[in-house]
Structure 1
Amino acid sequence: MSISIDLSSPEARDAARPASSGSAKPSLVGLTREELGRALAEAGVPERQVKMRVQQLWHWLYVRGVSDFADMRNISKDLRATLAGHFTVARPEVVEEQISGDGTRKWLFRFPSRGAGKPVEIETVYIPEEGRGTLCISSQVGCTLTCSFCHTGTQKLVRNLTAEEILAQLLTARDRLGDFPDRDTPDGAIVPAEGRKVSNIVMMGMGEPLYNFEEVKKALLIASDGDGLSLSKRRITLSTSGVVPEIYRTGEEIGVMLAISLHAVRDDLRDMLVPINKKYPLKELMDACRAYPGLSNARRITFEYVMLRDVNDSIADAKELVRLLRGIPAKINLIPFNPWPGTNYQCSEWSTIEKFADYINAAGYASPIRTPRGRDILAACGQLKSESERLKKSERLALEAMMIAGHGEA
């Protein structure tokens, strides 16, 4: 049984976000230290104080999780007023929070307009597991890739998210989960790594991260900064459908773990399932993977492979997958297809998925079958779509019927 908390009423909205989140003032969230220093200098902070104020703000934003200048207690009242007059550090609007029967949470965030644009909405998913919690973050509003099996790909690209908006998903999720230090504890108190509810992040939400490279890079370098959010780069995974030039840049400039949305082992089939393959075919993609820095058995590339009945799930496909990945330290995540209204695909039979996994495992590759999470709230892999395109009641009923039918296979 799932729970949906609608936060779109004025009362709930006021309780869920700071009053200034709709402000046109620029945010300090998502700026590099250098950019933050320039912003403070332009706001009138004396040059001799800039470095110290950057350190203070960095601590309040990313260690303490503060979203209001008034809570920055070691900064003078006058400076707090100056900062509040020029900038914001507020969170986005949380329009809706859904909690799946399996504990998965999905948030619908609304970000204010940028320039002449309209406010936009994106979805972010939190998946609790034993010993860790993973936050699935979006990088774009919509998507350009139109992968034929993916619900998210049916929503046209609206725009890229900024580094602020990417980080805001992480900061707001930690707020909602109680994952920042208590405001009343000593200033130096930090939530220990083993106590974090959000221990891992994956760039696997809405959009293609490598088509928004610069903003994603900035956000992930801040997320992994040791004096702030301090997430290990080995706990950050960026998933791409295969934007080959930026795969090289990701390894060199960001250094996080890499995941490839593969889904097919032949160019003709992948051209249909993942159309970007027409631009960057399998050979080029595999060459980029083999060149990814730091690969080892302890630092493998994850290949995501959605299981589609009578499409890509034969033993012949499994054999070709082993041949394709030869020489690459890899793990293959087998993903049972998650249904959505209007799709023509079906999930492979569970016995077929198990045989496929057994063959891959016997060839020496870890090949876990991903347990579908959050299907009842459309939070599973490939199901995210902005609630600005809400499902009609008939579509929800159709989805429920599809899930009931699919449950018998699993």
Structure 2
Amino acid sequence: MTATAPITQDVMTIPRKAPEGLMPNLIGMTREQLRAALVAQGTPEKQAKMREGQLWQWLYHWGVRDFAAMTNLAKEYRAMLAEKFVIRLPEIVTKQVSADGTRKYLLRIDGGHEVEAVYIPEEGRGTLCISSQVGCTLTCSFCHTGTQKLVRNLTVAEIVGQVMIARDDLQEWNIPGETKREDRLISNVVLMGMGEPLYNFDNVRDAMQIVMDNEGISLSRRRITLSTSGVVPEIARTADEIGCLLAISFHATTDAVRDQLVPINKKWNIEALLAVLRDYPRLSNSERITFEYVMLKGVNDSDDDARRLVKLIKGIPAKINLIPFNEWPGAPYQRSDWARIEAFSDIIFKAGYASPIRTPRGEDIMAACGQLKSATERGRKSAKAIAAETERG
């Protein structure tokens, strides 16, 4: 297979100057980068691997942020670390808790930008939905997050930091001297928040490698799902370099409709997308691909759409998540009637595919799919500006 260059966009290729005097952040460094940073500060090469392992465990297994508490390191070494490095996570601006237990975190990152992460508790599991970009560039017409301009990619530290902050809030870290915890409140991580993960491939890959590392947070690759709108050249790289489960924001069964709902389809159409997806389960050793399908009244929810969907994905190990549209002020679409969603699901199920209907979660705090950051941004705008946006629709 011919290697392809990483998919980037102009706004992402401009290097950002770090604030003057800012010490290197240990969070987000890969193991190799951490080791090199320690050597650069005088750690002997023969000791560097051991020191790297010790620090890694303190950061990602115990969740410790204070160098002074890292008691298996010499006092002088801890002092050097405190002088040369920082352990820095995004800052929690607000935390909202829904009536159904969903938690939404508004996080401030470098530059004063803000992103959101959402924790969704369920019976026997808990899913953390994290963001990969500030804003989004894809302008999917049904998604309120997509109405916000792309600002920049998140760094590795900012992606991993979302997981660490949620673990802080849920008090999920292991405690030094106590038996390792077997219960996992965060049992799954999904890259389904703000942004297109495959337009920030390298940072997402490195962040997920940290999350999957067995000596740290230790989430299995089968517990991580990356959702993409269909950046075709990067899907094979995802299989090879991350190996996580894959979800596709599909949402339509004809190019004409998908061009409107998911404009990236104009670059890589349904045929091109499905061609690369047929190889993904084999390349990544994944069991199946999830197709996400938002149900829009009178747009993509007919029996004919359901039958076309079954034909399109024939031969691909898959399940289809049907997502009732989460409406937002000024949205150009309506949620399909429940009876219509169930009829659509029944056709898919009878064709041999799992077709669960996703229960909307966190709607009362604008934490549902496609709503992230919306309430925050709208809260800062005048009523006149909101009315104008709604009128333009």
TM beyond 0.5: yes
The alpha carbon displacement at 1:24 in A equals 2.4
1:296–1:329: 8 Å Cα contact kept in structure 2?
no
Question: Does residue 211 of structure 1 match 2:199?
Answer: yes
- Partners in 2 of 1:24 and 1:109 — Cα distance? 20
Please name the residue that 1:300 is paired with.
288
Q: 1:160 aligns with which of 129, 153, 176?
A: 153
The corresponding residue for 1:109 is: 107
* Alignment correspondent of 1:27: 25
- Consecutive unaligned residues in structure 1, runs of 5 or more: 1-21, 113-117, 399-410
Aligned partner of 2:41 in structure 1 is 43
Alpha-carbon separation, structure 1, partners of 2:340 and 2:41: 62
Counterpart of 1:361 (choices 329, 349, 353) is 349
Q: Is the 8 A contact 2:239 2:284 kept in 1?
A: no
Corresponding residue of 2:164: 171
SS, match of residue 200 in structure 2: helix
Does residue 186 in structure 1 map to residue 177 in structure 2?
yes
For residues 10-21 of structure 1, the aligned pairs below 5 Å read none
Q: Report what 1:124 is aligned to.
A: 117
Listed one character per residue, the Cα deviations across residues 276-297 of structure 1 (whole Å, up to 9, x for unaligned) are: 0000000010011101143799
Correspondence 1:237 to 2:214 = no
What amino acid sits opposite 2:145 in the alignment?
T
Distance in 2 between the 1:206 and 1:297 partners?
Answer: 27
**Structure-1 separation of matches of 2:21 and 2:92:** 15
Deviation at 1:71, TM superposition (A): 1.9
The 8 Å contact of residues 64 and 190 in structure 1, kept in 2 or not, is answered as: no
Secondary structure in 2 matching 1:294: helix
Are 2:130 and 1:140 equivalent residues in the alignment? no
**What letter is aligned with 2:124?**
G
Among candidates 352, 362, 367, match of residue 340 of structure 2: 352
Count residues with an aligned counterpart: 366
**Corresponding residue of 1:72:** 70
Aligned equivalents of 2:248 and 2:79: distance in 1? 46
Instruction: State the SS of the aligned residue for 1:157.
Output: coil
Q: Tell me, what secondary structure is at the counterpart of 2:105?
A: strand
Q: Which residue identity does 2:210 align to in structure 1? A: I
User: What are the within-5 Å matches in structure 2 for residues 55-70 of structure 1?
Assistant: 55-70=53-68
**Offset, 1:389:** 1.9
Q: Percent same amino acid at aligned positions?
A: 62
- Contact kept, 8 Å, 1:68 with 1:90, in 2: the verdict is no
Segment drifting more, 378-387 vs 159-168: 378-387
Q: CA deviation at 1:23?
A: 8.3
TM-score by length of 2: 0.89
> Which range moved further: 272-281 or 287-296?
287-296
TM-score by length of 1: 0.86
| Distance in 1 separating the partners of 2:211 and 2:284 | 24
Give the 5 Å matches for 1:71-110: 71-110=69-108
Please tell me the residue identity of whatever aligns with 1:172. I
Aligned to 1:18: none
Deviation at 1:214? 0.3
Q: CA RMSD in A?
A: 2.0
Match of 1:278 in 2: 266
In 2, Cα distance between equivalents of 1:296 and 1:48:
35
Conserved? CA contact 1:301–1:329, under 8 Å: yes
Alpha-carbon displacement from aligned partner over 1:178-222 (angstroms, at most 9, x marks no partner): 11023xx417x4321xx0100100000000000000000001111
